[in-house]
Amino acid sequence: MTNDTTATSSTDVAHIAPREKAEILSQALPYIRKYHGKTIVIKYGGNAMTDPELQKDFAEDVVLLKLVGLNPVVVHGGGPQIEGLLSKLGKKGHFIQGMRVTDQETMDVVEWVLAGEVQQDVVGLINAAGGKAVGLTGRDGGLIRAKKLMIQDKDDPSKEHDIGQVGDIVSIDPSVVKALQNDQFIPVVSPIGFGEHNESYNINADVVAAKLATVLRAEKLLMLTNIRGVLDKEGQLLTELTPRRIDELVADGTISGGMIPKIAGAIDAAKSGVNAVHIIDGRVPHAMLLEILSDQAYGTMIRSH
C-alpha cells in the first residue's frame, strides 16, 4: 500500500496498553455522542472491495458504527467485477466518450453481478462481522426511479448519444431504507434503478450515494476511493474544499476523468443539506472509522461553502 498514513493493524492493537486503549475510546466518545442517531451514507468501492483484509475491516467498521448508535447505509459499486465477467463471456465493450454502451445483454450481466454476486458478498461480510445487513436494489420498495441518461456530444452540444440502459435518477423513495434502519438493519444498496416501463438502468454508484444521502438528510457521505483524496498539482492532499475551489481545480485540469462525477455528486449533496462529504482512502485499514470517530483527516472533506 503506497500511503504515507500509518494505520493500526489488529496485531498492533493486541499490544496496546489498557490505559492507551481507554484513552483512544475516550477520544472517540464526543464523536459518538455527536453523531448518535444520525445517518451516514457510505459509497463502498475500490481496493476496499477487493482486498480480503480491507473487506473485513470495512465490515467491522460498519457494524461498530451501528452498535454505537449511528445509522450506516452502504451503496456499493462493482465496475471491475462487471468488466471481469463481460471479459469471460467474450463480450466486447463499445464506448462513447468513455461511457460503456449498455445493451440488454450487458444489462443482464450488470444486474447479475451487482444485485447478485457483489451485493451478497457485502451483505455476507457485514453479517459475518456481527451486523444485520439487507440487500436492496432500486426496485425494492420503489427505491430508485430512473430514466435513460443521454450523453451530450463533447464537440457538438446540440447532439446527444444514446448509451443504452445507463440511467439518471428521477426520484428516490427512502421509505424502505428508513424502515430497515428503524428495525436495526443495515441497508446495502445496489445502484440499479427502474424506469416507467419496468426496465432496468445501471446508475453511477457515486451519484446514487450522493442522492440517497441528500434524501435521507444524512449527517455525512463517505466515499471510499483508491487515492488519498483530492490532490493538488504537486500531489499534496487537499484536506478541505469548497465548490468555488473545486471549480478552479476542474478548470485547470487538477480534477479530471472519473473524479469529476464523484466530486459533482459530493457538491450536490453538500449543497442539499448533507453536513459533510468525505472522499477518503479506502486502502487505509479502518480509514472510515478513523475519519468519523477522530479528528484525523484521512482524505478530502467537501463543504457547501
Q: Is 100 annotated to bind ligand?
A: yes
In angstroms, the Cα distances linking 304 to 216, 265, 294 are: 17, 12, 22
Helix and strand totals (H; E) in the chain: 12, 14
The reply to whether 204 sits in an annotated binding site is no
Does residue 229 have a known ligand-binding role?
no
At residue 252, the pLDDT reads: 85
The confidence score (pLDDT) of residue 214 equals 94
What pLDDT was estimated at residue 7? 44
Q: How far apart are CA 143 and CA 263, in angstroms?
A: 23
pLDDT tens over the chain, length 305 residues: 334 444 444 444 445 677 766 777 788 899 999 999 999 999 998 777 888 999 999 999 999 999 999 999 999 998 888 888 998 999 877 788 777 889 999 999 999 999 999 999 999 999 999 999 999 999 999 999 999 999 888 888 889 999 999 999 999 999 999 999 989 999 999 999 999 999 999 999 999 999 999 999 999 999 998 888 888 888 888 888 888 888 888 888 888 777 777 788 888 888 888 988 999 988 888 888 888 888 777 788 888 77
**According to the model, what pLDDT value does residue 173 have?**
97
Q: Which pLDDT does position 74 carry in this prediction?
A: 98
Distance from chain centroid for Cα 134? 17
The C-alpha cell at 278 is 468525505
Longest dimension (CA), the chain: 66
Per-residue pLDDT at 238: 87
Domain ranges within the chain, ordered by starting residue = 219-305
pLDDT at 250: 85
Cβ–Cβ under 8 Å, residues 192 and 138: yes
Identify whether the C-beta of residue 61 lies closer than 8 Å to the C-beta of residue 175: no
Helices marked H in 119-222: 119-128, 175-182, 205-215
Which one, of 63, 22, 17, 16, lies nearest residue 40 by Cα?
63
Residue 71 assigned ligand-binding role = no
Which 3 state secondary structure label does DSSP give 254? coil
CA angle 138, 139, 145 (to 5 degrees): 60
